[in-house]
Structure 1
């Protein structure tokens, strides 16, 4: 007779077996809450059975073979044990195995720290590369992470774009923070997917192991909370502290305070200059928002913008930034100083039908020549709705305004999309600029961006210039404009032109 082999609702195959070897039930059911190895043994545990007697096995796809029942079930058990512990895409340990191994190391006193790594803007990869291309990118990142984490340590894929590293061993003098920074560098790439070089950025949360920590699930939640903070603040790495457990309450309170700050006039604009890469003459300025908090002092945008961007506060905030920046440009213009001003437009703002009419109304009201404004958008903004974004940018450029893609190279913009966009400028993200002198890969990315820009007759801006050798090197390879602390920090409007 034959008997199907099932696990949960899936039929795995069908065994042809002698009648006296079949258990009481004609179906070898493997309950979801039963360990499969124990279930296999139980199915063969009746006294007097000839467990080594050969039987015919037929699989659903038509393949068949001869083996003993014990070998068949042992092979099935092994396959399911592996499937329950290994991520099928990257072949790294999965969440369940990471939890088990982490608890084992924790119980043995052999776990130094835990790193939770989440890829930034991974949804963009899905949108541009497609599901298969995004999976290829995840596989590349998983391989790089496994190679980088070092012997004795365990890299795992939790789900989606989330990874975990269990640090059991650290070289002398090495800290978890150092290890995390090195992991970020090693996975950055570029990784080649469908012939395209893709750079990867990530955020990391670290959970340290203290005496008395005995629950791996608690440590995993802590590392995940720290990773979310790193992603919000765009700091790369954050170490868990008890205060992170109340993050959500803090976020809601901060949004309420930000709304009040907008109404009370506590927001400020500072301006950071952009300079000609060769002559070092002032070319223009970028408007950057600051929050003069009554209790916490002057807050940089990394503290409050991520929360604002996840709520409708970003719309009111952008309205204020636009009005303030256009007014300041008009003040300079009326004083005989034509200073081009760059303004960042978030995706949520540009998605509104009123976005372009609002900007044009401000320009008319201030009687400002439109060519003195540059609107900066990110790759993420473009990908949100390429056709709508292109239509709106075309309307802005028709007035003489310029359009720039900010943080270029950190997202997943299709090269085929660039020629269709009404843009004037590519702004190389500072993560590439900061490492161009010690990383050939980052220098290559900068060279590639310049080549793309030249082919499309676009201006190239490099942000994050921190020293003179970097400034000189960027000028040598053909960057047009420079921006960074080495040249000038953001300043209030009364100080920026002096």
Structure 2
């Protein structure tokens, strides 16, 4: 059964009427839903709840309640954010929610995690567009091969996931995995070249109540299949991803924290119109004695799967607030953003610790913005909302990072004390290549405006993107086109403001 078509034009929502409400906003029936929502929200506060009057070219009239306009816009946005724009398959957020639903209802047999082998080699030969074409062909073949009742999704890069709700007669999960591998092998004709695809598949039987645990188990089994070149591996307790943490690196990281080997770099955020710096985001680096300066992608994933992340986050907060205090003493009023992982927010000590650090450094609370991801919110929405509300009550600002990649973003927003939405860079970098990504950005801006939030766009890599985002209504820009992350002494601060002596 296909999903109902979502309305795109205002006239599709209108109820015919012979009465023209006095003073109502009047728009043509062919107006895009997003444009209508923006116009409705731009009215003075006392008029925003009035219906929108719709006029057809032949003179007919209709009315649309403003909440119907906003609901239609939200529905279009939600559909776009649940679909991988390259392949048309469900994305990570949607498959995670659907997987948990099937697991709860007893309809899930197993989870298969597929990773293409030597995909980087294909990317080098085919180039970006050719590699995208190959991923699309793989998605088509995977959809045809997995069988009725099952569901495939693209996670990211060359990674796919399949939910097995039923097994065809005579098949086990492993034999179906081998059938999937054969189905997507090809060769696929890409730019006149026959390209064969080999795949490694990890299988996790539905033996746990948490779908994300099944995902991690399937991913661990897939990595073992890649290492041993066995094609298909089924998860066993010895393959649990929690056992694959680099214990030596974690030990070195603990030592590095104590020895002062961690560094913070700061990436500025700029006003989208004036381009003046409006704050910075603190980003951690590790000055390893033998390996040099390491980016967070090398050590944070392991840290986040251990209690090291708590100590590391304490250090980042303390260092960032100390730097903000230093800038303030020198006459620079620089807001600083710090990322808080889910595990940190789950602690009862999180809020008291942050407030104590602010008092210690004598930094005004409004100079700190804490950034959380939608994943962090989804782990414990009620507890996280309470923690954030307490911080915001004390003056700390709150931002949602990577917005648009989660499944329940729209439903959670009204429940959360949020000041800023940061549009995920995956939408920004492709906004000129994909109408869907541009639509998502416009929808996020309209939703943020309706809820009184600022919008930050990260991943701004060129001037045309920066200019278009400013015209669309984004408040703040962040990306390599404007500034790369730098040590504190290299941050391009505005001239210091002289301190005014107390009267």
Deviation (angstroms), 1:263: 1.2
Residue aligned with 2:369, SS: strand
Deviation (angstroms), 1:147: 6.6
Give TM-score scaled by structure 1 length. Answer: 0.58
Q: Match of 2:280?
A: 285
Q: Match of 2:335?
A: 340
How many positions carry a matched residue from both structures? 330
Q: Is the 8 A contact 1:153 1:167 kept in 2?
A: no
Q: Where do residues 305-454 of structure 1 align in structure 2 (5 Å cutoff)?
A: 305-454=300-449
- Is the alpha carbon distance of 1:150 and 1:350 closer, same or farther for their aligned partners in structure 2, counting shifts above 3 Å? closer
Deviation (angstroms), 1:448: 1.1
The answer on 1:125 being equivalent to 2:125 is no
Residues 259-279 of structure 1: per-residue CA shift (max 9 Å, x gap): 111111111000000000111
Q: Where do residues 86-101 of structure 1 align in structure 2 (5 Å cutoff)?
A: none
Q: Match of 2:248?
A: 253
2:230 to 195, 211, 218: 218
The answer on 1:169 being equivalent to 2:164 is no
Give ranges in structure 1 of 5+ residues lacking alignment.
1-116, 181-202, 233-246
Q: Is the 8 A contact 2:263 2:286 kept in 1?
A: yes
Q: Match of 1:52?
A: none
Q: Is the 8 A contact 2:269 2:279 kept in 1?
A: yes
- Is the alpha carbon distance of 1:303 and 1:283 closer, same or farther for their aligned partners in structure 2, counting shifts above 3 Å? same
> RCO (CA 8 Å, sep 6+): is it higher in 1 or 2?
2
Deviation (angstroms), 1:170: 2.9
Structure whose alpha-carbon radius of gyration is higher: 1
Q: Match of 1:71?
A: none
Q: Is the 8 A contact 1:153 1:168 kept in 2?
A: no
Q: Is the 8 A contact 2:389 2:417 kept in 1?
A: yes
Q: Is the 8 A contact 1:118 1:204 kept in 2?
A: no
- Is the alpha carbon distance of 1:204 and 1:476 closer, same or farther for their aligned partners in structure 2, counting shifts above 3 Å? farther
Residue aligned with 2:427, SS: helix
Q: Is the 8 A contact 1:154 1:167 kept in 2?
A: no
Residue aligned with 1:338, SS: coil
Deviation (angstroms), 1:338: 0.4
Residues 52-105 of structure 1: per-residue CA shift (max 9 Å, x gap): xxxxxxxxxxxxxxxxxxxxxxxxxxxxxxxxxxxxxxxxxxxxxxxxxxxxxx
2:292 to 294, 297, 322: 297
CA distance in 2, matches of 1:204, 1:437: 36
Residues 239-278 of structure 1: per-residue CA shift (max 9 Å, x gap): xxxxxxxx96671221111111111111100000000011
Deviation (angstroms), 1:392: 0.9
The answer on 1:456 being equivalent to 2:451 is yes
Q: Is the 8 A contact 2:222 2:232 kept in 1?
A: no
